[in-house]
Copies of this chain bind each other. A is one copy, B any other.
Amino acid sequence: MVKEMCYKLNKSSMLYKRLMSKHLERLNITYSQLMVLRVVNQEPGITAKEILMQMDTDKATLSGVLSRLEKNSYINRVKNVKDKRIQNIYISKGSEHLCNEVSVIEKACISDLVDGISLGEAEQFLQILDRFIENQVNKIEQKF
Protein backbone atom coordinates (compact mmCIF):
# COMPACT_ATOMS: atom_id res chain seq x y z
CA MET A 1 0.00 0.00 0.00
CA VAL A 2 2.67 2.48 1.04
CA LYS A 3 4.84 1.12 -1.75
CA GLU A 4 2.09 1.83 -4.21
CA MET A 5 1.78 5.33 -2.85
CA CYS A 6 5.49 5.94 -3.36
CA TYR A 7 5.51 4.58 -6.89
CA LYS A 8 2.55 6.63 -7.92
CA LEU A 9 3.88 9.78 -6.32
CA ASN A 10 7.03 9.30 -8.36
CA LYS A 11 5.08 8.69 -11.49
CA SER A 12 2.93 11.76 -11.02
CA SER A 13 5.95 13.89 -10.34
CA MET A 14 7.62 12.66 -13.50
CA LEU A 15 4.50 13.34 -15.54
CA TYR A 16 4.27 16.86 -14.18
CA LYS A 17 7.83 17.66 -15.15
CA ARG A 18 7.26 16.23 -18.60
CA LEU A 19 4.13 18.27 -19.05
CA MET A 20 5.71 21.52 -17.90
CA SER A 21 8.82 20.95 -19.99
CA LYS A 22 6.77 20.53 -23.13
CA HIS A 23 4.90 23.73 -22.45
CA LEU A 24 8.03 25.65 -21.55
CA GLU A 25 9.96 24.60 -24.61
CA ARG A 26 8.90 27.61 -26.61
CA LEU A 27 10.09 29.99 -23.88
CA ASN A 28 13.58 28.57 -24.17
CA ILE A 29 13.95 28.04 -20.46
CA THR A 30 13.69 24.96 -18.28
CA TYR A 31 11.34 24.26 -15.43
CA SER A 32 14.05 24.37 -12.77
CA GLN A 33 15.49 27.57 -14.15
CA LEU A 34 12.11 29.22 -14.13
CA MET A 35 11.39 28.20 -10.55
CA VAL A 36 14.65 29.86 -9.52
CA LEU A 37 14.05 32.91 -11.68
CA ARG A 38 10.72 33.39 -9.99
CA VAL A 39 12.28 33.46 -6.56
CA VAL A 40 14.86 35.98 -7.75
CA ASN A 41 12.11 38.09 -9.25
CA GLN A 42 10.26 38.18 -5.96
CA GLU A 43 13.32 39.00 -3.93
CA PRO A 44 15.85 41.03 -5.88
CA GLY A 45 19.34 40.81 -4.48
CA ILE A 46 18.75 37.42 -2.93
CA THR A 47 21.76 35.15 -2.42
CA ALA A 48 22.22 31.53 -3.48
CA LYS A 49 22.10 30.48 0.14
CA GLU A 50 18.76 32.15 0.63
CA ILE A 51 17.35 30.57 -2.50
CA LEU A 52 18.44 27.20 -1.19
CA MET A 53 16.58 27.73 2.05
CA GLN A 54 13.42 28.52 0.15
CA MET A 55 13.64 25.82 -2.47
CA ASP A 56 14.95 22.61 -0.97
CA THR A 57 17.36 21.75 -3.72
CA ASP A 58 21.03 21.01 -3.75
CA LYS A 59 23.62 23.74 -3.64
CA ALA A 60 25.63 22.20 -6.45
CA THR A 61 22.54 21.88 -8.58
CA LEU A 62 21.51 25.43 -7.87
CA SER A 63 24.97 26.65 -8.75
CA GLY A 64 24.59 25.10 -12.17
CA VAL A 65 21.10 26.46 -12.70
CA LEU A 66 22.25 29.95 -11.74
CA SER A 67 25.21 29.87 -14.08
CA ARG A 68 22.98 28.79 -16.96
CA LEU A 69 20.49 31.52 -16.08
CA GLU A 70 23.31 34.03 -16.15
CA LYS A 71 24.76 32.63 -19.35
CA ASN A 72 21.39 33.13 -21.00
CA SER A 73 21.16 36.66 -19.59
CA TYR A 74 18.15 36.01 -17.41
CA ILE A 75 19.94 37.14 -14.27
CA ASN A 76 22.94 39.15 -13.10
CA ARG A 77 25.15 38.24 -10.20
CA VAL A 78 26.87 41.05 -8.33
CA LYS A 79 29.62 40.41 -5.82
CA ASN A 80 28.67 41.76 -2.41
CA VAL A 81 31.18 44.34 -1.24
CA LYS A 82 30.74 43.65 2.46
CA ASP A 83 31.15 39.91 2.12
CA LYS A 84 32.97 38.87 -1.00
CA ARG A 85 31.87 35.25 -0.65
CA ILE A 86 28.34 36.32 -1.42
CA GLN A 87 26.80 37.29 -4.71
CA ASN A 88 23.57 39.24 -4.88
CA ILE A 89 21.34 38.02 -7.65
CA TYR A 90 19.09 40.25 -9.73
CA ILE A 91 16.72 39.47 -12.54
CA SER A 92 17.77 41.02 -15.85
CA LYS A 93 15.74 43.80 -17.34
CA GLY A 94 13.20 42.35 -19.67
CA SER A 95 13.11 38.96 -18.02
CA GLU A 96 10.44 39.81 -15.48
CA HIS A 97 7.79 39.19 -18.09
CA LEU A 98 8.89 35.56 -18.24
CA CYS A 99 7.81 35.11 -14.67
CA ASN A 100 4.37 36.37 -15.50
CA GLU A 101 4.14 34.10 -18.50
CA VAL A 102 4.96 31.13 -16.32
CA SER A 103 1.81 31.61 -14.36
CA VAL A 104 -0.15 31.43 -17.57
CA ILE A 105 1.68 28.33 -18.68
CA GLU A 106 1.34 26.76 -15.30
CA LYS A 107 -2.36 27.32 -15.38
CA ALA A 108 -2.55 25.74 -18.81
CA CYS A 109 -0.61 22.76 -17.53
CA ILE A 110 -2.65 22.16 -14.44
CA SER A 111 -6.09 22.99 -15.70
CA ASP A 112 -7.98 19.75 -16.23
CA LEU A 113 -5.72 17.91 -13.81
CA VAL A 114 -8.42 17.99 -11.16
CA ASP A 115 -11.16 16.87 -13.48
CA GLY A 116 -13.29 14.44 -11.57
CA ILE A 117 -11.75 15.46 -8.26
CA SER A 118 -13.91 17.55 -5.98
CA LEU A 119 -12.59 20.43 -3.95
CA GLY A 120 -13.17 18.49 -0.77
CA GLU A 121 -11.25 15.54 -2.11
CA ALA A 122 -8.40 17.76 -3.19
CA GLU A 123 -8.25 19.27 0.26
CA GLN A 124 -8.19 15.91 1.92
CA PHE A 125 -5.59 14.71 -0.52
CA LEU A 126 -3.35 17.62 0.32
CA GLN A 127 -3.82 17.09 4.01
CA ILE A 128 -2.74 13.47 3.77
CA LEU A 129 0.12 14.35 1.46
CA ASP A 130 1.33 16.89 4.00
CA ARG A 131 1.42 14.26 6.69
CA PHE A 132 3.19 11.87 4.37
CA ILE A 133 5.84 14.45 3.50
CA GLU A 134 6.33 15.25 7.15
CA ASN A 135 6.96 11.58 7.83
CA GLN A 136 9.42 11.44 4.97
CA VAL A 137 11.34 14.41 6.30
CA ASN A 138 11.46 12.85 9.74
CA LYS A 139 12.65 9.57 8.32
CA ILE A 140 15.45 11.20 6.37
CA GLU A 141 16.64 13.21 9.35
CA GLN A 142 16.36 10.17 11.56
CA LYS A 143 18.89 8.15 9.60
CA PHE A 144 21.65 10.69 9.31
Name the CB-closest residue of B to A121: B128
A3 to B124, CA, bound (A): 15
A83 to B5, CA, bound (A): 39
Are A124 and B122 touching (Cβ within 8 A)? no
Contacts of A19 in B (CB 8 A): 136, 139-140, 143
The stretch that binds B, out of A41-49, A86-94, A104-112, is A104-112
Contacts of A140 in B (CB 8 A): 15, 18-19, 22
A10-B16 in contact given A117-B128, A139-B113 (Cβ < 8 Å): yes
A132-B114 in contact given A6-B16, A19-B140 (Cβ < 8 Å): yes
Contacts of A131 in B (CB 8 A): 115-117
Residues of A at the B interface (CB closer than 8 Å) are: 1-6, 8-19, 22-23, 56, 106, 109-117, 119, 121-126, 128-133, 135-140, 143-144
